[in-house]
Structure 1
């Protein structure tokens, strides 16, 4: 069976981290988010991957090539954001028979995908506490009949998780009308499939929609936390490494440093001397955590540098970010309410009591900068020495 993996969107809710690359190519543990989705498909026995690409498509093509883990790969371009049904419609010429549709920014497991295939035609479901905030699966006698968007009186607590196993006949029903959002939606295709077949809801166990920066942090918490201890890099005899820590070959942990797992220090990265890394942290390829620096529960992407006497907590730092000496991040509100972040111009709760900052690629802070909880620094943004930043820049 083939899997269509949707990876064409710009990912505006993830900005500024997605300003120079597709959201699905952001790092989750030791590989891009999109690779975790592809791995779930391959491990479930999918025999061809069809990526629908668009924004910054070259990054996807470069990573996956013509074959991924000995499975053939094909690419289809979606050059305009016309919706998920349009994306699959673009892929239709490459499809033969029954097929699976997966979102490139939704974490799931091979067991999830396998269950979706085994019970096809089917749609992924996820139990939620507040179904009125989601597209909710409507059912009749246990079969899915429709998806109702943000219902005031939801019939079930099963949210549509956006993954489908469709019969080949569904290819004839992809040319749907645009929704009120101006997009052609796969939920309308699902309704047509449900008219002709009994569609089974398949509850995913470990699904996560990674659409905003704090959800990228959550994805790393989940996947870094699954790694087994491995110290292949150069760990100084006077360093302390506790728990499930991975130090890849080519990485360095210098004297006086303490790393408390789960943590992942990637190839070419350096920690220390006298640094403290804890609380599910990813130190990306070539990143630097220097003298007197504490990093807690954060993601430092490739080439990021926090070199001297700083604290970074519950934060996401993009590629080649440079924090000047004494830069400190606040990650807690005095009123103990969840930290809020501006997303597409609106203040949104992260749902997290502790959350720090989101920093775009290439941003730089001056020495002794203080960054307030929930602040976003855009790609290439700068601060001046001694500055306290309480608003997005």
Structure 2
């Protein structure tokens, strides 16, 4: 069976993190989120993939190539204009030779769940449950069949949702050929699903491990979940006087200096410098060539590659882009005084602890204070002693 991975979208809700990369290439546990999905599908027995690419496709192609280093075969189907999910799937039509899986590239699934999708009679939809179904396509299921699908309902009829994973036969392309533009001006896959539902022909496959990554703070939840399965590994240098508690993975060329205390699960990439006397707490991922320095504390955070957080910093419950530099003493707050849920960019994160979203190549002067829920665009620059709160666009500057 083939697997079509839809990976052409920009991921506007993930801004500013997608200003320089496609959403599916954002790192979770130091791998692009799409790589986790592809490896899970491979482990479920699929070796032939079609990647539908568009925005930032060069990064996807450079990372996966022809698939050889991952033990798979990859073909690419360009979607030149992002005209909706139906258009994205139609882009793969000439490369599909029989029954296939189709999956959104911005989610996390286990190989066991993908195996269930493979075994399900096509056509079928993977389903999951959530405590906020109104953000998704809400599904009613009876006797293993999908009875209805309603997108982003204000009054959801159930807590069961469309998980964005499907088992199809090539017949789906005949249905897609008849789809017309929706009110949003897009060609929607859900319109084709509606035809299958009306024919009582769409099965439902409950998924146990599905995790959607729609907003930057969802990266923290996915990162924490994937790190739970981390095995300790040391390919770098750990000096005397370093304390490692729980599963910690250290990449090749990385040096952990004396006095550093790391609580797993934690993964540290290649060629990093950590410490001396750094404190890294659980559910933290640190990208390649990063520096976490003296008396710096990092907790439940995704730090992307080539970022420097070198002296007397605190970063909690945050997503930090690549190539950033934190001046000495700069700190990110992560808790409101009333312990209420944090909003970021006007959106409820549903997290009582959440710090900031920081784009790529952001530079902070010394002793900056970043308030909870701040969203900072790429290439922003902040003068020493700046108080940073709210949202800032790309190239913003406080002098």
Category of TM-score, reference length = shorter chain: over 0.9
Q: CA deviation at 1:193?
A: 3.0
Deviations 1:42-85 (A, max 9, x none): 11112311000001100000011112423210111112121111
Deviations 1:179-212 (A, max 9, x none): 2222111112222334556322111111111121
Deviations 1:325-366 (A, max 9, x none): 110110001111111100xxxx11100011111111100000
Matches of 1:351 and 1:321 in 2, distance apart? 26
SS in 1 for 2:382: coil
Report the CA distance shift for 1:133/1:9 in structure 2 as closer, same or farther (over 3 A).
closer
Equivalent residue number for residue 382 of structure 2: 383
Matches of 1:334 and 1:161 in 2, distance apart? 36
Equivalent residue number for residue 116 of structure 2: 115
Q: Is the 8 A contact 1:323 1:366 kept in 2?
A: yes
Equivalent residue number for residue 294 of structure 2: 291
Equivalent residue number for residue 30 of structure 1: 30
SS in 1 for 2:196: helix
Equivalent residue number for residue 10 of structure 1: 10
Equivalent residue number for residue 251 of structure 1: 254
Q: CA deviation at 1:243?
A: 0.5
Equivalent residue number for residue 62 of structure 1: 62
Matches of 1:227 and 1:151 in 2, distance apart? 37
In the TM superposition, 1:45-56 aligns within 5 A as: 45-56=45-56
Q: Is the 8 A contact 2:262 2:280 kept in 1?
A: yes
SS in 1 for 2:92: helix
Q: What is the root-mean-square deviation in Å for CA atoms of aligned residues?
A: 1.4
SS in 2 for 1:183: coil
Q: CA deviation at 1:232?
A: 2.2
Q: Does residue 1:372 correspond to 2:374, yes or no?
A: no
Matches of 2:357 and 2:156 in 1, distance apart? 34
Equivalent residue number for residue 139 of structure 1: 141
1:324 to 310, 327, 339: 327
TM score, norm. by length of structure 2: 0.94
Equivalent residue number for residue 81 of structure 1: 82
SS in 1 for 2:305: coil
Equivalent residue number for residue 216 of structure 1: 219
Q: CA deviation at 1:157?
A: 2.4
Please, which runs of 5 or more residues in structure 1 have no aligned partner? none
Matches of 2:130 and 2:299 in 1, distance apart? 29
SS in 2 for 1:217: helix
Matches of 1:213 and 1:124 in 2, distance apart? 24
Report the CA distance shift for 1:152/1:341 in structure 2 as closer, same or farther (over 3 A).
closer
Deviations 1:111-165 (A, max 9, x none): 1111011113210101123434431113354311331123455443210111100
Q: Is the 8 A contact 2:147 2:200 kept in 1?
A: no
Matches of 2:191 and 2:54 in 1, distance apart? 23
Matches of 1:136 and 1:88 in 2, distance apart? 21
Q: CA deviation at 1:217?
A: 1.4
For this pair of structures, how many residues does the alignment match?
A: 389
Matches of 1:74 and 1:362 in 2, distance apart? 33
2:193 to 190, 194, 204: 190
TM score, norm. by length of structure 1: 0.96
In the TM superposition, 1:118-129 aligns within 5 A as: 118-121=119-122, 122-129=124-131
